[in-house]
Amino acid sequence: MIVHRDERWIAVDKPAGLLSVPGRGPDKQDCAWSRLRSLHPEALVVHRLDQPTSGLLLFARTPEAQRQAGQWFETRQVGKRYQALVWGRPTAEGGLIDLPLAADWPNRPRQQVDLQHGRPSQTRWGRQAGPCPAGCTRLWLEPLSGRAHQLRVHLLALGHPIVGDALYDPARPAERLMLHAERLQLPGLTLECPCPF
């Protein structure tokens, strides 16, 4: 589970289906953070991944490191790269999705494209080499902003929802959401975690 550890940071490979941090209620206390704290009680939350997403999740080992990471995320000094399997085949080789996002309040926790009231959201994407089931395409994704469900909603808006997305594409179930956080780049540190699918 731990893929990197030094005096400031601990990075884990979060499995799909595991919460990043505790949720509400006694049945939602098992999470990556609580498991890590059993080994490293000093671990502090830096960011989160959606429960169905797998991959790199970073924790800080000191309050100073946590504050530093927060500044880096806020000023977009952290590079994030994901791999995904999507339904269909985009006509372009890649591009930039620039669509503002907002909460879909009647259908929470869903998010939606909202051209009037949404917050600016951008995702770079391109085709990725690797194994791919029939009817699907493997993509790399780089979110330039950090909105809730951003990659999932942007790919849905592109017309190519992520395989296994039970929230946004429930008619086509799969064993998991095919979305994996494979790389994190911080000033002075690059972390990688191979895609499991």
Q: Which residues are part of the catalytic machinery?
A: 50
Of the candidates 1, 16, 14, the residue with the CA atom closest to the CA atom of residue 162: 16
3-state secondary structure of 59: strand
Measure the CA–CA gap between 9 and 113, rounded to whole angstroms: 34
- Show the DSSP H helices in 24-172 as ranges: 32-37, 63-74, 150-158
Q: Are 126 and 86 in contact (CB under 8 A)?
A: no
Are β-strands 101-103 and 9-14 bridged in parallel, bridged antiparallel, or unpaired? unpaired
Q: What Cα–Cα distance (Å) separates residue 188 from each residue in 31, 79, 132, 191?
A: 28, 12, 33, 10
23 backbone dihedrals φ, ψ, rounded to 5°: -100, -170
